[in-house]
């Protein structure tokens, strides 16, 4: 099940003693953890949270849990523990070129299976992994038991809905253009978005609507956002504006080769979009092929009008040559970026 379905079960008071949290998004995991704590609190049960690095567990899991149960002292402040275990290799793909440790792995899997069968009253066990290997028997068993929870990276409409819901908790609303601008500046990092929401909420002091002007004023521009503006300036042959955007990106301490890679990616997206539109692909097909958010596609579709497939192919070829020259030491990376902007805007 995904985190939304799990949230509904927890809201109804259906809490398990074992979970496997799967996915890279730590913010959503923390949110669900807090829902578990709050749901337990409504039942008069107070649980503390302990975070444990699985690499430093000297004893087996079962022995560790048994020892905790024997030493748990219930007080008015704490009646149980949520054990948040990270860095466990039991559920993840084995690292490449690593010798197989089947015996140890099998022992760990057997411990997990025993824990799945137990009904722990004072302990809730949560394993958190960035990417579970769904081919593994143990992962399939956890999933079959209904203890596997997915936390995908939110994109597109799902990300916009999360943003709207998060703002609603602060009694705030956001204009459509401002929402897209905020996400462009923060990316898909929910922790960063939440931090910006808290800052905006403090600044508003009673106002309820977030405008584009406010986003421009309070939320720092991202490298990605400045890359869009740089590309736009290049397309319109505005040399001064393109150089200004380049200097803004450099001021964010991005390495010149990273900046060049982002610029290459931007022009590749434009080139791919150009070809897909010529093929008559639908918006849905284009989004799937480019793997970008809808509001980014809108911006790309505006920019691509200023280019032809041949001009984009030539730009990408020039950028590749520049990348090779920088890596071979033939060009200074900082000077090369400015030369690139001059060439693209004058030529």
Same domain for 31 and 144, yes or no, is yes
Strand pairing category for 123-129 and 148-150: unpaired
Examine the fold and report which residue of 202, 218, 234 is the final residue of a domain before the chain moves on: 218
pLDDT at 292: 79
Verify that 250 and 178 share a domain, yes or no: no
Whether residue 180 has pLDDT greater than 50:
yes
The pLDDT of residue 338 is: 87
- Greater pLDDT, 296 or 10: 10
The total domain count for the chain is 3
Mean of all residue pLDDT scores within the chain: 83
Together in a domain, 230 and 199: no
Specify the pLDDT at position 76: 44
| pLDDT the model gives residue 64 | 62
Q: Are residues 234 and 196 in the same domain?
A: no
Residues 256 and 205 in one domain: no
Nearest CA among 268, 248, 270 for reference residue 259 = 248
| End residue of a domain, out of 218, 246, 272 | 218
pLDDT of 254 above 90 = no
Band (340; pLDDT cuts 50, 70, 90): confident
Q: By percentage, how much of the chain surpasses pLDDT 90? A: 25
Contact between residue 193 and residue 182 where contact means Cβ atoms under 8 Å apart = yes
111 and 177 share one domain: no
User: What are φ and ψ of residue 49, in 5° steps?
Assistant: -110, 130
Res. 166: pLDDT tops 60: yes
Structure tokens, 295? 């509001």
Tell if the pTM clears 0.95, that is, is over it: no
Q: What is the pLDDT of residues 208-223, one digit of tens each?
A: 899 999 998 888 766 6
The region of weakest confidence among 17-26, 49-58, 78-87, 190-199 is 49-58
Q: What are phi and psi of 38, to 5 degrees?
A: -65, -40
Domain hosting 92: range is: 3-150
Domain end among 121, 150, 179: 150
Do 265 and 185 share a domain, yes or no?
A: no
The two structure tokens encoding residue 180: 């897209």
pLDDT in tens, 86-142: 888 888 877 665 555 554 555 566 777 776 766 656 788 899 999 999 998 889 989
Quick: pLDDT tens for 42-75: 888 888 888 888 876 655 565 666 655 554 544 4
Torsion of CA 188, 228, 293, 176, to 10 degrees: 90
């Amino acid at each position: 099940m995904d985190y939304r379905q799990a949230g509904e079960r927890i809201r109804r008071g259906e809490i398990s003693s074992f979970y496997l949290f799967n996915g890279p998004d730590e913010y959503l995991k923390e949110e669900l953890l807090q829902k578990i704590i709050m749901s337990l609190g409504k039942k008069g049960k107070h649980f503390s949270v302990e975070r444990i690095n699985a690499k430093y567990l000297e004893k087996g899991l079962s022995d560790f849990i048994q020892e905790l149960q024997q030493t748990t002292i219930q007080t008015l402040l704490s009646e149980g523990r949520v054990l948040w275990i990270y860095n466990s290799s039991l559920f993840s793909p084995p690292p490449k070129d690593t010798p197989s440790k089947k015996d140890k792995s099998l022992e760990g899997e057997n411990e997990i299976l025993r824990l799945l069968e137990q009904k722990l009253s004072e302990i809730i066990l949560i394993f958190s992994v960035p990417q579970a290997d769904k081919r593994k028997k143990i992962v399939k068993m956890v999933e079959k038991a209904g203890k596997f929870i997915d936390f995908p990276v939110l994109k597109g409409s799902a990300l916009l809905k999360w943003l709207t819901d998060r703002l609603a908790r602060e009694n705030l609303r956001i204009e459509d253009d401002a929402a897209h601008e905020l996400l462009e500046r923060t990316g898909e990092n929910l922790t960063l978005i939440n931090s910006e929401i808290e800052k905006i909420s403090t600044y508003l002091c009673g106002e309820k609507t977030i405008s584009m002007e406010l986003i421009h004023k309070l939320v720092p521009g991202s490298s990605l956002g400045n890359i869009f503006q740089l590309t736009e300036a290049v397309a319109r042959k505005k040399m001064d504006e393109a150089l200004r955007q380049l200097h803004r990106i450099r001021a964010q301490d991005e390495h010149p080769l990273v900046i060049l890679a982002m610029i290459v990616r931007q022009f590749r997206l434009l080139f791919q979009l150009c070809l897909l539109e010529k093929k008559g692909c639908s918006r849905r097909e284009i989004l799937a092929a480019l793997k970008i958010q809808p509001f980014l596609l809108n911006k790309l579709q505006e920019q691509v009008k200023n280019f032809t497939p041949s001009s984009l192919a030539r730009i990408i070829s020039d950028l590749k040559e520049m990348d090779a020259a920088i890596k071979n030491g033939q060009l200074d990376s900082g000077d090369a970026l400015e030369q690139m902007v001059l060439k693209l805007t004058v030529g």
